[in-house]
A and B are shown apart, each in its own frame.
Chain A
C-alpha cells in the first residue's frame, strides 16, 4: 500500500471518529442539560461541559421517607416512639427556547406527618432520654423553582428564582451563576450567588407560650469552583461554598432542659458556614462502569466541623440497564453551646438539645437501578432506589461519651420516570 493511501485511510479514520464523537456529545449534552441540577446553578452537568440541546425533557419522582421508631430505652416514659414520615413528589421540566436559551422548572410537594424530638431529660439511670412532641405533626410543603440558562460559545449564565411555602414557613429565593470554559473546554470555572428570605410563623404559639411567632431570617450564599478534565476518562472538580445565616436561626418547635426547666431552643442569630466539596469521576471502559467519589469538608462558627465521603459505582449492563450501589459516611462535631440538658445557666443564654447540633456519625448505603426503554415513540428511563441511613455516637470520628438519644435512622424508597421528546 502506498504512503498516499495510508494517509488517506488515516484521515478517513479520524473523520469517522470525529463524527462518532459529535453524535455522542449531542446525546451527552442532552443528558447534561436534563441532569444538570437546576437547583445548583451553573455547576452540575456533564464533565464534558454543558451544552444546549433541542429536546424537551420531563421527569417525575416519588419518594417515601420513613424514620425508624426511637428505641424504648432512649425515649422518656409516655412519649411517642414513632417518628416522621414524608411523601415527596418531584417534577422537573426542561426545554430549549431558541438557539441559546433554556428554561427549567422544578416543583416539589411534600406531605409530612409524625412526632419529632422536643427536648432531652435525664433518665432514671442518668442516661439522657428523648421527650417527643405529643401531638402528631401534619404539614405540607410546596417548593417551586424556575431557572433560565443562556448559552454562549464558551460560557453559560443562569438566573433562578423560587418560592417554598408551608403552613408555618415561607421562603423566597433567588440565585445567579455563571460558567466559563477555556483550555479547549478542558477547564471550567464556575461561580454564583444565592439569597433566601424566610418568614417563620410557628403554629400553636398561643397554646405553647415559649414558642416564638413572626420571626424572620435571611440566608446568603456564594460559591466558586473549578472543573478539570484530566484524561479522556477522568475528570475532577472542586467547589468552595460560603453561606451566611442572619436572623432567627433557632428551632421554634424545640426546647432544652435548663436546670430542670424547659426553655425555648435558643441559638445565635448569625452563622458563617463553609463547605469545600471535591469530586472525582473515572470511567473504566473495560468494565463498562464509572467510579464516583465525593469528599466534603464543612466548618461553621458554631464550632461544628463535619466530613462527608461518598463513593458510588455506575455499572452499565445489557445496553439499557444500569445498577448504582453507593455508600456514604458522615461525621460531625458539636455546636459549642449544645448539650443534651443543662445543669447550670449559660451566661450567653444559648441552649439547644437538637441532635442535629450534637456529635455523631452516620453510615448510609443506597442501591439504585435504572432501565431505558422506548415506547409510544419516546425514549424513557425508569428508576428505583432504596437508601438506608443509620446514625450513632459510635460512628463519629471523635469519641462521644453521651450521644443524643434522638439520633435518627431512616429509609428512603424512590421511583422515577424520565422522558425526552
Chain B
C-alpha cells in the first residue's frame, strides 16, 4: 500500500506541481495535434491493451467497460 500512496502522490504532484499556465483557446493549436492525443491511434491502443491484458495480470487502466474473452 505504501507504493500505492507514493504513486498517488506522484500523480498529484505531476498535476499540481508543474506550475500550470492558463492556455487561451486561440493558443491550443499544439494541443490539438494528433500526436498530443492520449491515444493517437485508437485501433492500436485497443489491440495493445487486449494483447497485454491477455498475457499479464494487470488491468489496462484509463477507462471502464469493454467485453471479456476466454483469452489464453
Instruction: State A25–B42 Cα separation when bound (angstroms).
Output: 19
- Chain B residues, CB < 8 A from A59: 42-43
Is there an interface contact between A185 and B7, defined as CB atoms closer than 8 Å? no
A91 CB to nearest B CB, Å: 9
User: Cβ of B20 and Cβ of A314 under 8 Å apart?
Assistant: no
Q: What's the Cα separation between A63 and B26 when bound, in Å?
A: 39
**A299 proximity list for chain B (CB < 8 A):** 1, 4
Assess whether A277 is interfacial by the CB under 8 Å rule: yes
CB–CB B37/A43 < 8 A: no
- B36's contact among A162, A222, A281, by CB below 8 Å, is which? A281
CB pair B64 A221 closer than 8 Å: yes
Known A-B contacts A61-B44, A65-B51; A39 and B34 likewise in contact (beta carbons under 8 Å): no
Q: Of all chain B residues, which has the CB nearest A15?
A: B26
**Interface size (B, Cβ < 8 Å)?**
62
In the complex, what distance in Å separates the CA atom of A140 from the CA atom of B59?
A: 23
Cβ A231 vs Cβ B69 within 8 A:
no
Q: Which residues of A contact B41 (CB under 8 A)?
A: 35, 368, 383, 416
B37 touches A46 (CB 8 A): yes
Contacting pair A196 B67 (CB below 8 A)? yes
> Are A219's CB and B44's CB within 8 A?
no
Partner of B66, one of A139, A162, A383: A162
B-side contacts of A186, CB under 8 Å: 20, 22-23
A48 to B65, Cβ gap below 8 A? no
How far is A112 from B70 in the complex, measured between Cα atoms in Å? 11
- Contact residues in B for A255 (Cβ distance below 8 Å): none
A371 interfacial contact with B, CB 8 Å: no
- Does the CB pair B72–A46 fall under 8 Å? no
B19 CB → nearest A CB, Å: 8
For the complex, what is the distance from the CA of A413 to the CA of B63, rounded to whole Å?
26
The secondary-structure label for the interface of chain A is strand
As a 0/1 sequence over residues 155 to 169 of chain A, the CB contacts with chain B under 8 angstroms (1 = contact) are 000001011101011
Whether the pair B34, A28 counts as a contact (CB closer than 8 A) is yes
Whole-angstrom distance from the CB of B63 to the nearest CB of chain A? 3
Beyond A32-B37, A414-B44, is A46–B68 a contact (Cβ under 8 Å)? no
Using a Cβ cutoff of 8 Å, how many contacts connect chains A and B? 319
Known interface pairs A145-B67, A160-B65, A194-B64; A357-B57 also in contact (CB < 8 Å): yes
User: Of A225, A228, A251, which is within 8 A of B20 by CB?
Assistant: A228
1/0 per residue, CB under 8 A from A, across B20-36: the answer is: 11111111111111111
Q: Tell me whether B29 and A41 are in contact (CB under 8 A).
A: no
Of A1-9, A71-79, A173-181, the segment with at least 4 beta carbons within 8 Å of chain B is A173-181
* A12 interfacial contact with B, CB 8 Å: no
Q: In the complex the two chains form, what is the Cα distance from A283 to B23 in whole Å?
A: 15
Nearest chain A residue, comparing its CB with the CB of B66: A39
Chain A residues with Cβ under 8 A from B30's Cβ?
232-233, 283, 285
Knowing A65-B51, A229-B31, A230-B21, the reply to whether A35 touches B65 (Cβ < 8 A) is no
Does A96 belong to the interface (CB within 8 Å)?
no
Query: Does A311 touch B at the CB level, under 8 Å?
Result: no
Residues of A within 8 A of B66 (CB): 39-40, 145, 162, 173, 175, 194, 196
Q: How far is the CB of A21 from chain B (nearest CB, A)?
A: 4
**How far is the CB of B1 from the nearest CB of chain A, in Å?**
8
The answer to whether A274 touches B63, judged by C-beta atoms less than 8 angstroms apart, is no
4 closest A-B pairs by CB: A28-B32, A175-B65, A194-B65, A40-B63
What 11 additional pairs, Cβ within 8 angstroms, besides A295-B10, A300-B59?
A22-B26, A31-B32, A39-B42, A44-B38, A184-B23, A185-B28, A186-B23, A229-B20, A232-B23, A290-B36, A416-B44
Which B residues are within 8 Å of any A CB, using their own CB?
1, 3-4, 7-8, 10-12, 14-15, 18-52, 55-70, 72
